């Protein structure tokens, strides 16, 4: 915020002395008033659902309650049920694995694309950027539908091409039919959609690395890999951390892609991740209490992942 141009009357009276003037601290409530609308929007938009969710997670809240019957407070019952629910643990572990693998691959490919963009000439870079922008701007439903077509059992181009390789029998291979290949398709789809964001962010970081440093390193005899490992990576590390964190969080709560792929494949719980699991518990079977409890667990997991990073960022800040 810029310094006030008008010196408050009180300050003028109390500091009449000549010499270097110390800017007095503003004591008006204006900043607080200005922040109120944002605060209200945040509280209403994020706070209300969050509080509702926390409250509901301690209640027995089903369809009857949705239609007006007063809910019953059940303490930690919903959470206790989760602890003994094998399916919940399976979904949680599956989601964590899925999110770690997907986010890691996304970031690796994203970094490589960024390095590539940095290395190539202007025209090629422009082509790369525009095509990635298209991928990034593609609505989830459209992208998922295209992927469903690509991997279609009967008419998909993926099976067609793989089957054309001599000795490979992929005719009518049902990619969405078993969890492993299902999540492979889901992962490829999500990576395809998220790489542009990562590579743009990293590319922006790369452009900040000064030519002189790179040149000096080269003169000192550092090879390409050494320059990447010892100079580029450390310098874009802050961007890298935040991008990886965001990817982890996004991939943990992925919902639309999994739902649409499930619509084209199986309704079975073996294909659920946390997002679809919560939806199934709450909206589909009407157990909003349990659904809220799982949501709270996801929130805690997200906070835990973020905390590691936030702590590291703070440490780095302090070191500087």
Partner 1 sequence: MADGGDTPDTLRDYLKTEYKKATGGTLTIEEQGWGDALAKLQTALPDADNTPDVTEIGNTWSPTFTNVGAFSDISDMYDELGGDKLLTSFVDVGKVDGKNYALPYYFGSRYVFYRKDLYAAAGVEVPTTLPQLTEIAQKLHNDSTSGFYLGGEDWRNGVSWIFAYGGDLAKQDGDQWKSSLSDPKSIEGLEALQELYTSASNAPVTEADSTPWVNINTQPEAAGPEAATIIAPGWAHWSIGDLAPDPKDDTKQVATWNDEVFGAYVLPGVDGGVAPVFAGGSNIAISASSKNQAGARELMKIIFSKEYQEMLGANGLGPANSDYVSSLGDDQFAKALIESALGSKLTPAAVGWAGVEGSGLLEEFFGKVNAGGDVASLAAEYDKKIDELINKS
The residues binding partner 1 (CB under 8 A) are 62-64, 66-69, 153, 172, 174, 176-177, 263, 265-270, 280, 283-287
Alpha-carbon distances, residue 251 vs 100, 106, 123, 269, 302 (angstroms): 8, 10, 33, 19, 11
In the bound state with partner 1, the residue whose beta carbon lies nearer, of 61 and 200, is 61
Q: Give me the least distance between CB of 40 and partner 1, in Å please.
A: 23
Please count the other Cβ atoms lying within 10 Å of the Cβ belonging to residue 316: 12
Q: Give me the least distance between CB of 131 and partner 1, in Å please.
A: 28
Helix (H, G, I), strand (E, B) or coil at 72: strand
- Give residues with Cβ within 8 angstroms of 87, minimum separation 6: 269, 277
In the bound state with partner 1, the residue whose beta carbon lies nearer, of 58 and 288, is 288
In the bound state with partner 1, the residue whose beta carbon lies nearer, of 196 and 289, is 289
In the bound state with partner 1, the residue whose beta carbon lies nearer, of 176 and 296, is 176
Q: Give me the least distance between CB of 266 and partner 1, in Å please.
A: 3
In the bound state with partner 1, the residue whose beta carbon lies nearer, of 27 and 268, is 268
Q: Distance between CA 315 and CA 21 in Å, rounded?
A: 35
Please count the other Cβ atoms lying within 10 Å of the Cβ belonging to residue 124: 12
Q: Give me the least distance between CB of 153 and partner 1, in Å please.
A: 7
Q: Give me the least distance between CB of 222 and partner 1, in Å please.
A: 53
Please count the other Cβ atoms lying within 10 Å of the Cβ belonging to residue 194: 24
């Amino acid at each position: 915020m810029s310094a006030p141009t008008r010196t408050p009357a009180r300050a003028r009276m109390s500091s009449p002395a000549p010499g270097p003037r110390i800017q007095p601290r503003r004591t008006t409530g204006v900043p607080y008033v200005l922040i109120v609308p944002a605060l209200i929007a945040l509280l209403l938009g994020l706070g209300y659902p969050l509080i509702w969710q926390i409250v509901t997670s301690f209640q027995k809240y089903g369809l009857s309650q949705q239609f007006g019957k007063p809910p019953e407070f059940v303490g930690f019952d919903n959470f206790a049920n989760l602890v003994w629910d094998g399916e919940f643990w399976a979904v949680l572990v599956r989601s964590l694995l899925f999110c770690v693998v997907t986010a890691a691959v996304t970031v690796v490919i994203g970094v490589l694309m960024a390095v590539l963009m940095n290395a190539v000439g202007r025209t090629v870079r422009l082509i790369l950027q525009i095509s990635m922008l298209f991928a990034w701007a593609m609505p989830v439903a459209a992208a998922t539908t295209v992927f469903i077509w690509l991997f279609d059992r009967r008419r998909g181009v993926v099976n067609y091409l793989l089957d054309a390789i001599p000795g490979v029998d992929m005719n009518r291979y049902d990619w969405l039919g078993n969890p492993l290949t299902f999540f492979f398709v889901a992962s490829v789809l999500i990576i395809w959609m998220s790489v542009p964001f990562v590579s743009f962010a990293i590319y922006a970081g790369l452009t900040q690395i000064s030519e002189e440093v790179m040149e000096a390193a080269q003169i000192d005899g550092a090879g390409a890999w050494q320059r990447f490992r010892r100079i580029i990576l450390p310098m874009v590390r802050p961007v890298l951390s935040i991008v990886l964190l965001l990817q982890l969080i996004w991939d943990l709560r992925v919902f639309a892609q999994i739902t649409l792929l499930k619509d084209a494949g199986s309704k079975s719980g073996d294909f659920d991740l946390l997002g679809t699991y919560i939806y199934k518990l709450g909206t589909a079977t009407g157990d909003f209490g349990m659904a809220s409890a799982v949501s709270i667990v996801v929130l805690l997991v997200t906070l835990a992942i973020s905390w590691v990073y936030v702590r590291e960022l703070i440490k780095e800040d302090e070191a500087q």
